[in-house]
Structure 1
Amino acid sequence: MELTFKSEMFAIFDDVLTRVDLDALRKHFREGRFSHISNFRARSRVFGILDGDPLVGPSVVQHHPTGLKGATPYPAGNAIDALVQALDDNSNELVPWTGTQGVSWDFFTCTPYLYPVGSGLSWHDDAEERSASYVFYLHDDWRASWGAELLIGGNGDVANRAELLNGMPVPSVGSYVMPHPNRLVVIKSGTPHAVKRVDVTAGENIRMSIAGFFQQLS
């Protein structure tokens, strides 16, 4: 796992998994069980009606002492375990953005997502009990014209947030991250971010990712 970019608010790591583990994870996605977000949109804290209809798969949780409702404890016995292990093995490198386990966070989650054409994610900042969020990309290929960039707003300065969207002040400046395969992006809590919609030029190509949170016990 190689750190290829960092700022105060987020970091990018590339070449996270071995080729064998990445291929196994892709196979797991192709054969996995996914449900449309629209089936439980009323319970979603983030996905809005204009975000299209991404799909979500069963979650895995690591370091939760009693287990998390709706999630399988690590080891889950599937290919997601390789990413859980990579996050654990490299947790010290993530501290500037996640904080320290036992202080800033107690456990983390891993949830598979599929974003087909027309789907994205509105601006949000993952605050509350979460110290950081992350996304890992595992699709085979992704072209710049296909959209789905991760948009990251500003530098944490509320004064640079220009307008309200879904009740949240949206930054007037920021960065974007291309969803390159085998890339991990870690985002400090309180940092506004969004996922640009997958463009029609992507055709049948789907943005495949695992996203999760480093969070405290409630």
Structure 2
Amino acid sequence: MKETQRGKRFIVIDGFLSDQDLSGARDLMERATFTRQESVISAEDGPAFRSKGMQFRAGLGTAGKSGRPEVYEELAHTVGMYSDFYGQAGSDWDRIAFAFWKYPAGSRLGWHNDAGQGRQGEFILFLHERWRPSWGGELKLIDEDPQSAAEDEATESDLVLRMEARIEQSATSPVAIVPKPNRLVLVKSETIHTIGRVDHTAGGTLRRTLTGFVSKSQKREADSANAREKFEAILSANCSPQPAH
């Protein structure tokens, strides 16, 4: 495992899994059941295929835990190592969700930013056995900090057009990351990115990934906010002037 590239909003790690663990991850993917998914970004994207998701809240990636596929443990451990990127486990994030994805020739995923739902970031592990650079399917991203929501909404109400407007206004060009087998890419939340269309020359070779989100439970955030509000209300009541007798 070697970190080979780093930007403001992404990290590329090559040779992520050992040969044994990579084989295990591919076997796990082969045994998964997939359903066809139409793009929620654009009707022009074409279909992809998604497995049933897995989500873990506590203990994943820590010493002494067993019984779960090694690829999940390794990914969670790596996410925990990059606290400068995702924040601290427990306080900044408390869950990791995983799903396998397959993209056939002719499909892509349009520009978007995966903001909201308590997400701190995401990761993509490429699991296909072979990938020619001419087959496309690159992960492309804008390595710039996001604008405020107000600035985005003022630019364009439609999501796709808003993302494209940001790219047109960008002072830099998108970074294109080739989907090299056994390559892991870490991405910060709200990073504008896209999956390039898989070229027809890929034939029957599918772009295969294990993709996941690192998130903070919204329920816990809401409970924490409610607790703070109640505490502040108590303090306010105790500090307010009392009527004279």
- Bin the TM-score by the shorter chain: 0.7 to 0.9
Distance 1:32 1:88 in 2: 20
Distance 1:47 1:200, change over 3 A: same
Per the TM alignment, residue 76 of structure 1 is displaced from its structure 2 partner at its CA by 7.4
Aligned length: 200
Q: Pick the aligned partner of 1:52 from 46, 54, 60.
A: 46
Asked if 1:111 corresponds to 2:105, the answer is no
Q: Which residue of 2 aligns with 1:35?
A: 35
Distance 1:157 1:93 in 2: 24
Per the TM alignment, residue 157 of structure 1 is displaced from its structure 2 partner at its CA by 5.5
Per the TM alignment, residue 49 of structure 1 is displaced from its structure 2 partner at its CA by 2.0
Q: Which runs of 5+ in 1 are unaligned?
A: 66-73
Per the TM alignment, residue 191 of structure 1 is displaced from its structure 2 partner at its CA by 0.8
Per the TM alignment, residue 134 of structure 1 is displaced from its structure 2 partner at its CA by 1.0
Distance 1:20 1:9, change over 3 A: same
Identity of aligned residues (%): 28
Distance 1:184 1:168 in 2: 28
CA contact (8 A) 1:123 1:168 kept: no
Distance 2:29 2:186 in 1: 22
SS of equivalent residue, structure 2 residue 44 = helix
Distance 1:75 1:37 in 2: 32
Deviates more, 1:192-201 or 1:86-95: 86-95
**Corresponding letter in the other structure for 1:59:** G
**Corresponding letter in the other structure for 2:25:** L
CA contact (8 A) 1:36 1:55 kept: yes
CA contact (8 A) 2:146 2:191 kept: no
CA contact (8 A) 2:8 2:143 kept: no
Distance 1:63 1:51, change over 3 A: same
Q: Pick the aligned partner of 1:127 from 85, 91, 115.
A: 115
Give 1 or 2: higher strand fraction. Answer: 1
Distance 2:42 2:131 in 1: 25
**How high is the TM-score relative to the length of structure 1?**
0.82
Runs of 4+ in 1 over 4 A off after TM superposition: 74-77, 161-165
Per the TM alignment, residue 47 of structure 1 is displaced from its structure 2 partner at its CA by 4.2
CA contact (8 A) 2:76 2:96 kept: no
Aligned residue runs from structure 1 range 9-28, under 5 A:
9-28=9-28
Per the TM alignment, residue 31 of structure 1 is displaced from its structure 2 partner at its CA by 3.3
Distance 2:81 2:2 in 1: 10
CA deviations on 1:95-128 (whole Å, 9 max, x unpaired) are 2321111222111111000111111111111211
CA deviations on 1:134-171 (whole Å, 9 max, x unpaired) are 11101001001101000001412549x99876243332
Q: Which residue of 2 aligns with 1:201?
A: 201
**How high is the TM-score relative to the length of structure 2?**
0.74
Cα RMSD (Å): 2.4
Distance 1:76 1:112 in 2: 19
Distance 1:88 1:28 in 2: 17
Distance 1:76 1:56 in 2: 24
Larger radius of gyration: 2
SS of equivalent residue, structure 1 residue 166 = helix
Q: Which runs of 5+ in 2 are unaligned?
A: 60-64, 219-245
Q: Which residue of 1 aligns with 2:190?
A: 190
CA contact (8 A) 1:137 1:180 kept: yes
Distance 2:121 2:79 in 1: 12
CA contact (8 A) 1:134 1:211 kept: yes
CA contact (8 A) 2:57 2:94 kept: yes
Q: Which residue of 1 aligns with 2:131?
A: 142
Q: Which residue of 2 aligns with 1:169?
A: 163
